[in-house]
Structure 1
């Protein structure tokens, strides 16, 4: 059963620390003795459903599980079986609370009805797939692989709708909220802005280019591969995370990098904004601790202590609850505040 609807709290920078300081994280875990804890079974992706009533985790040991945030015991979770390789990315349909999509490195995307545990559709032959993103209307998705392949697929069709080879590998992409363009982070450290569904460059530079060079306008924010992107809830900022341990934040009107977060100690693998867009956080694969910064100023606000690196994280879509991986297990902080 979904948690009761509560009035949303809006936190200022000053209140953020006092709000979270007394809270303790809740652990969600199954028996990991046979998997070696945070080793083979480490969580690679975390996703909330649109209402924030369910949360899915995908792990490198092929475990795909859907949790009820209110009930951390594993017997209240749903284990979805069927993938033959590690889960690279999970994401709920943005307009359907019970439809989950998962992609595995064996090149298979599966669509699940989490109420019945049934796999309702699958798309194969996607190569060494490692990323996916839903279009905002929930009618199609983009899947990328490590060989530069980009595929448009549907949750209701078992064949690929269209293929779009890219010159370089695409990492974790994100759509704009209107769905007419998509932001593609690349291995070269840039971010491409393409139309959807055509997947053609949306903008061109307004100056002459050398013969043989592309006039495509791209965002340049990293000196190492750009690994992930996230759009703020109001669409004002695009945050990008790179292998250079930096989060860059671009204004989506002028496409200027307004600020950067350099406190992170390793490659940034995931980024998440709070539901109100006031705060942003990044997870990396090296070093403990999760730093929260204020979106509008870039000021450091708070650090969540962790036992180890956090590869995946996600703020809840409706409240101040943070889900994150820590030493191979799922933790959520902020639930006990709801019970006060």
Structure 2
């Protein structure tokens, strides 16, 4: 890793601005940036997703509302090969694929495809080549979907080409950047790694002493990080699968983590009313974002030091869900 000049970034982060995006009527559960960084997606307990564009200059009224689910929108992810497409997963036992270009034209945001699944969905990820979507539900079943379809859209089940029924709690799922390994975090504190697309077991990595809730990959392809109910984050060498260091600033179970585009910063959120931003290289905290509630989801921008985050903040005087973007001093 290149030398981390954290005093410089520490100074920039200290002078950064935060922008609040309002529109959701209940708490925001998930956030994510499009592959080109021009759009920010959010999903909420109000059963909708929203897409925000031109974050620096946007009016809250300009957000596109994606409304077709009948349950909480627990997760969203963008097609890594196409900045206009995203998918949402809901407790209504479905995932929906959207094309923002269609939404722009009609303002009604019609979806491309809706696929029914076997349970209430809480996990979602898109393969690096854009050819597969994986969705996990509360029964710990992970289904693999071909987003390209291949037939009559009325035969929705044919889009699901493989399922895995796990005997342990599954909390987050993801492909590595090469797309040849599939990772699942478990309630036993392990990371279950499978070959893809053959699904041959590679390893059950003993990562934590408590439920493992989240993971994220270094965009430079060197590391991945795991967050657990033991309030620790572990940084792993992706080739050797050895722990390089731990981060222990938070006091409550780690709900969400994200590594910045340059691999220099790792942000983490929990029931602590702070978001910790630390140096990946040294483990030192270089900035703290104060929050008024627990954090549900955080996501670094794909090519800038902008951090989107959302949490449980909802009040009677201002019922909108908490969705904010924290950035550097050039963000206004």
TM-score relative to the length of structure 1 = 0.86
- Give the alignment of 1:43-192 within 5 angstroms: 43-68=28-53, 69-116=55-102, 117-157=109-149, 158-159=156-157, 160-192=160-192
Which residue in the other structure is 1:212 paired with?
A: none
Q: Distance in 2 between matches of 1:267 and 1:280?
A: 16
Q: Distance in 2 between matches of 1:134 and 1:325?
A: 21
The 3-state SS of whatever aligns with 1:58 is: strand
Higher percent of residues as strand: 2
Q: Say if 1:147 and 1:168, in contact at 8 Å, map to a contact too.
A: no
**Using the alignment, how far apart are the partners of 1:136 and 1:174 within structure 2?**
10
Q: Distance between the aligned counterparts of 2:86 and 2:283, measured in 1?
A: 33
The separation in 1 between residues aligned to 2:124 and 2:269, in whole angstroms, is: 18
* 3-state secondary structure, aligned to 1:168: coil
Displacement of 1:338 in angstroms is 4.6
Work out which of the residue numbers 313, 326, 330 in structure 1 matches 2:298: 313
CA contact (8 A) 1:121 1:156 kept: no
Q: Superposition pairs for residues 1-340 of structure 1, below 5 Å?
A: 12-30=5-23, 35=25, 41-68=26-53, 69-116=55-102, 117-157=109-149, 158-159=156-157, 160-202=160-202, 217-284=203-270, 286-326=271-311, 327=313, 328-334=321-327, 337-338=330-331
Q: CA RMSD in A?
A: 1.7
Provide the C-alpha distance between the structure 2 equivalents of 1:321 and 1:194, rounded to a whole number of angstroms. Answer: 32
What per-residue deviation string (whole Å, max 9, x for no partner) do you get for residues 288-307 of structure 1? 11111111221222112222
Mapped to 2, the partners of 1:42 and 1:265 lie a distance apart of 23
**Worse-superposed segment, 150-159 or 223-232:** 150-159
* Offset of residue 265 of structure 1: 2.2
Mapped partners of 2:325, 2:243: distance in 1: 31
C-alpha displacement of 1:71: 3.4
| 1:112 Cα offset (Å) | 0.3
Q: Tell me if structure 2 keeps the 8 A contact 1:194–1:200.
A: yes
Distance 1:183 1:248 in 2: 15
Deviation of residue 50 (structure 1)?
0.5
Name the CA distance, whole Å, in 2 between partners of 1:56 and 1:248. 27
Q: Deviations for 1:243-287, whole angstroms, at most 9, x for unmatched residues? A: 221111111122111111111122212111110001111111x12
Structure-1 separation of matches of 2:189 and 2:75: 21
What is the CA deviation profile of residues 142-165 of structure 1, one whole-angstrom value per residue up to 9, with x for unaligned ones? 111121211110212233111111
Residue 73 of structure 1: CA displacement?
2.1
* Partner deviation per Cα, 1:14-57 (whole Å, 9 max, x = no partner): 11121121222001002x6xx4xxxxx11111000001100000
SS of corresponding position for 1:79: strand
- The count of residues paired between Structure 1 and Structure 2 equals 307
Query: What is residue 207 of structure 1 aligned with on the other side?
Result: none
Report what 2:317 is aligned to: none
| CA distance in 2: counterparts of 1:136 and 1:289, whole angstroms | 31
| Runs of at least 5 residues in structure 2 that lack an aligned partner in the other structure | 103-108, 150-155, 314-320
